[in-house]
């Protein structure tokens, strides 16, 4: 039998991963405790990754465990975690293989057993933990416990900290060095100072959904007060804690959830810039939270920009929209986006006037200013467009409880007219609540050619093309997928 422990670590790794030691795996296992930690780690990593067979009997003997634990150690799935270990120099990230579902603790670092047993007490089950390097201290406890306890750990996070058997988290030394070490590897260190218990960490990282506020405002001076008012009204439990956890674990800061546009100049480049910024933030949220986000929107801005945002959002997921009226926010919950897109036969909330003149259709939502409606209609007459004027059946403010239905009926009406006549372009002129504009944008989508107009007294101005909205979606989405 060869003395495998005498082979240089680098050469051992090369031989192992090239399959040149496959016939000697049980012999290597018999020498396990004489191998360096680096060899021990690579050996177990190779066996687990390549699903190689090892003798259960030898595993029992080497680790002094029963048959069930030896079998579970060999057959259960594994995870590798990084442990920031620092010394008088900058330190390094030490890897560890973790295997769940045992009754006892299997490790190659006996001097850490007491701390590992504390983790076992918290988990109420045993595990395997094979480290690639020897180190001292207890700061490894949090990353190991997180790796064993939590299913969805963002790849860009590393942890450091000590825990007790109740899962309470305690601070450790050399935090600044560990932050620099993590940054060197393009990772973010989660420090114990902002955490209290492992259950809190699990509740966040393994959540099925994340409720996120997102506020858009044209206000430049009191936007903080507006945002605070929105947060106090949003239907998100413990919203301040949500903002804290988003920052700690997901690097989503409060300013990422607040888009300040000011009064957007009537220039297409400016509108495209803010539209792109909105979509970029939404897509990053979706990417970071792995599609588990539930968005809560409010907009203090133009109906035109709200329509564009709805087209850009274009999600099949539920969302909330908050309509500000009479000094407070009113909640509109869209639980099923398909509902907004369904065709309906009878319109209970809207009236309309339709006149066909050309293959370009002006869609005029006349639900607020009569002056704006007149200007939009005059524009269509000058250009010879066909037009569809949509009004609410009743005068005055649209009841909040009818807003979803108004958006739905408007979207259905547009679909019906599109089926009757194939229009080359759709031109949107909106004088309506921003909530209705946003929902209409979600329902209409971004595939049909057309333009969005904003009312700039004394006339409507073409500020965005639907083509540019589609390009923003495709460009930003392709950038995200290319990074994945």
Q: What is the DSSP string of 52-73?
A: ----HHHHHHHHT--HHHHHHH
Q: Is the omega angle on the peptide bond into residue 75 within 30 degrees of 0, that is, cis? A: no
Token pair 């030691």 is at which residue?
A: 21
Q: What is residue 479's predicted lDDT score, i.e. its pLDDT?
A: 60
Which of the 8 DSSP states describes residue 6? G
To the nearest whole number, what is the mean pLDDT of the chain? Answer: 95
pLDDT recorded at residue 379:
87
Residue 252 has a pLDDT of 98
Q: What is the pLDDT of residues 200-209, one digit of tens each?
A: 999 999 999 9
End-to-end CA distance of the chain: 45
Q: Any bridge partners for residue 296, and if so which?
A: 213, 320
> Considering the chain, what percentage of its residues have pLDDT values greater than 70?
98
**Is the per-residue pLDDT at 369 higher than 80?**
no
Let me know: does 192 contact 171? Beta carbons within 8 Å. Answer: yes
The two most distant CA atoms of the chain are separated, in Å, by: 94
pLDDT tens-digit profile of 22-32? Answer: 999 999 999 99
Residues in CB range of 77: below 8 A, 6 or more apart: 99, 100
- What topology is assigned to 339-467 in CATH? Rossmann fold (3.40.50)
Dump pLDDT digits (tens) for 152-193: 999 999 999 999 999 999 999 999 999 999 999 999 999 999
Distance CA 415, CA 400 (A): 24
Please give the CATH architecture assigned to the domain spanning 55-203. 2-Layer Sandwich (3.30)
Rounded CA-CA distance 211/69 in Å is 40
Q: In terms of Cα–Cα distance, which of 443, 367, 355, 363 is closest to 398?
A: 367
Residue 50 has pLDDT above 90, yes or no: yes
List Cα–Cα distances, 85 to 90, 403, 437, in angstroms. Answer: 9, 57, 53
Q: What is the reported pTM?
A: 0.92
Query: Phi and psi for 315 in degrees, rounded to 5?
Result: -85, 155
> What does the pLDDT average to over 74-78?
97
């Amino acid at each position: 039998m060869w003395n495998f422990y005498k082979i240089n670590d680098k050469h051992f790794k090369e031989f192992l991963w090239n399959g040149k030691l496959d016939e000697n795996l049980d012999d290597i296992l018999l020498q396990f405790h004489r191998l360096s930690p680096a060899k021990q780690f690579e050996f177990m990593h190779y066996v687990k990754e390549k699903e190689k067979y090892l003798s259960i009997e030898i595993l029992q003997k080497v680790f002094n465990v029963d048959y069930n634990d030896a079998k579970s150690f060999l057959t259960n799935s594994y995870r590798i975690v990084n442990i920031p270990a620092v010394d008088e120099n900058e330190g390094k990230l030490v890897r560890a293989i973790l295997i769940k579902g045992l009754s006892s603790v299997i490790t190659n670092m006996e001097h850490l057993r007491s701390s590992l047993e504390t983790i076992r007490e918290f988990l109420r089950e045993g595990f395997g933990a094979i480290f690639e390097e020897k180190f001292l201290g207890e700061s490894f406890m949090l990353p190991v416990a997180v790796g064993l306890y939590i299913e969805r750990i963002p790849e860009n996070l590393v942890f450091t900290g000590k825990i007790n058997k109740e899962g309470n988290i305690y601070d450790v030394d050399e935090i600044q060095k560990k932050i620099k070490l993590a940054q060197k590897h393009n990772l973010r260190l989660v420090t114990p100072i902002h955490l209290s218990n492992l259950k809190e960490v699990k509740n966040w990282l393994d959540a099925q959904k994340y409720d996120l506020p997102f506020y858009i405002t044209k206000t430049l001076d009191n936007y903080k007060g507006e945002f605070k008012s929105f947060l106090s009204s949003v239907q998100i439990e413990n919203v301040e804690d949500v903002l804290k956890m988003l920052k700690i674990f997901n690097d989503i800061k409060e300013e990422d959830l607040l888009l300040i546009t000011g009064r957007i100049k009537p220039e297409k480049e400016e509108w495209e810039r803010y539209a792109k910024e909105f979509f970029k933030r939404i897509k990053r949220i979706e990417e970071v939270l792995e599609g588990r986000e539930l968005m809560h929107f409010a907009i203090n801005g133009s109906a035109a920009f709200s329509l564009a945002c709805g087209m850009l959002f274009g999600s099949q997921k539920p969302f909330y929209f908050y309509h500000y009226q009479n000094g407070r926010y009113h909640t509109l919950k869209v639980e099923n986006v398909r509902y907004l897109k369904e065709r309906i036969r009878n319109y209970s909330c809207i009236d309309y006037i339709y006149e066909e003149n050309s293959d370009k259709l002006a869609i005029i939502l006349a639900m607020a200013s009569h002056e704006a409606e007149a200007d939009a209609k005059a524009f269509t007459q000058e250009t010879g467009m066909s037009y569809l004027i949509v009004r609410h059946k009743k005068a005055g403010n649209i009841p909040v409880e009818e807003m979803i239905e108004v958006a739905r009926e408007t979207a259905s009406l547009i679909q019906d007219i599109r089926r009757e006549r194939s229009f080359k372009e759709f031109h949107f002129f909106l004088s309506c609540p921003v909530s209705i504009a946003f929902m209409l944008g979600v329902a209409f989508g971004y595939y049909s050619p057309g333009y969005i107009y904003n009312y700039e007294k004394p006339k409507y101005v073409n500020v965005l093309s639907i083509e540019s909205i589609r390009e923003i979606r495709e460009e930003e989405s392709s950038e995200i997928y290319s990074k994945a």
